[in-house]
Amino acid sequence: MSVEDLTPREAAGKALADLGDLRSDVVVLVADTGETTRARLFAERHPERFFNVGIAEQAMAAIAAGLAAAGFMPYALTFAAFMERAYEVIRNSIARLALPVRLIGTHAGFSDTYDGPSHQALEDIAIFRVLPNFTVIAPADSCETYKAVLASAEVKGPVYLRVGRDFHIPATCGLYKMFEVGKGYVVIDGRDVAILTTGQMLGFAVEAAKILGEKGVSAAVLHFPTVKPLDLSLLSSYAKEVKGIVTVEEHMVYGGFGSAIAEALASIGPKPMAIMGVKGFGKTAKNPAELYEYFGLTPENIAARAEELVALS
C-alpha cells in the first residue's frame, strides 16, 4: 500500500516505524493513544523503544524532555486537543531548554468530527507558534505527513507536528520529492490573487483556484506546511505582485497561520488580505465535509472571498 492510500495518522505511524529503522536514538511515547494515533506501528517494530505513560500528557511531555536531555530523540503522540493539557511542561521543560522533542498532535482540526468540539483542536497552531525555539508543521495530506515526520528528525530544537485523523485530499503526493522544513511550495502560479494554505485546506484552495480561473481570475495557490518558520522569500515574491491575499486554515483565525502571514506582511509591505478560518469551537458532525460547509471553508467560499479582494483593487 502506498503512502497516498494511508490516512494521515497511519502515515505518521509508518514514518515513525521507518525512522526507527534508520535511527536507534528514536523513542516513541504515547498517552494511552498508541492505537488511535497509529503509533502502534512503531511499537510493533521497535517494542523496546515504545512507552505508554497512560492518560497523563504532562508526564509524557516531562519524560520526553528527560529522554531528550539524555541524548535520545523522543516523539510524543496524543490527540492535538489533549497535547494542550501539557502546555506548562512543554513551555518550561522543552521550549525553554530548546530540547529536541517532537510532539505529534493527531486528530487536529475538524478531523475528529464524531467526538465533537472537546476533541477538535482549533487553537494548537497559535499555542505552539508563540513558544520560542519551536518549529510548527501542518502537513496537507498523508504523503506530506510521512515526509514531514522524517524531515523533523533533522530539526535541532523542538517540533510540533499537526496531523489529521482519516480525511485527506492527496494534493501533495506528486508535488515534490523532498520535504524541506521552512519551505513553502507553489502549487498553482497566478498573478491576480494568492490563496495561501497550511494543513488540510490545500485541496480546497486548488479547487477554488479552478473556480476563479473559469471566471478569468488568475489565482496562485501557495502552500506553507511549515507555519514557523515561514518561507518569507516565497511570500514576499508573490505579495509584491498580486492584488490581494487570502489565507485559509482549519484553525482559529486568532493567532494561527493567517496571523503569521499578516505579521510577516507588516514588514514586507501592506496588502489587501482576508483570513479565513474559525472563530469559535467546533461542532459534532457525521463527517468533516459537514463542518467545512458549516464554517464556510469550501472551495466556493474561498473563491468568492478571493474574488472580492480582486474587485477592491
Place of cell 458532525: 285
Amino acid 91 reads R
268 secondary structure, DSSP code: H
Between CA 121 and CA 127 the distance in angstroms is 11
Burial of 39-68, coded b for 16+ CB within 10 Å and e otherwise, reads bbbbbeebeebbbbbeebbbebbbbbbebb
**Selected catalytic residue, list 10, 57, 207, 307:** 57
Give the three cell numbers for residue 31: 498517552
Between CA 156 and CA 219 the distance in angstroms is 36
Amino acid 163 reads V
Which three-class secondary structure state does DSSP give residue 218? coil
Assess whether 84 carries a catalytic annotation: no
> Which residues are designated catalytic?
57
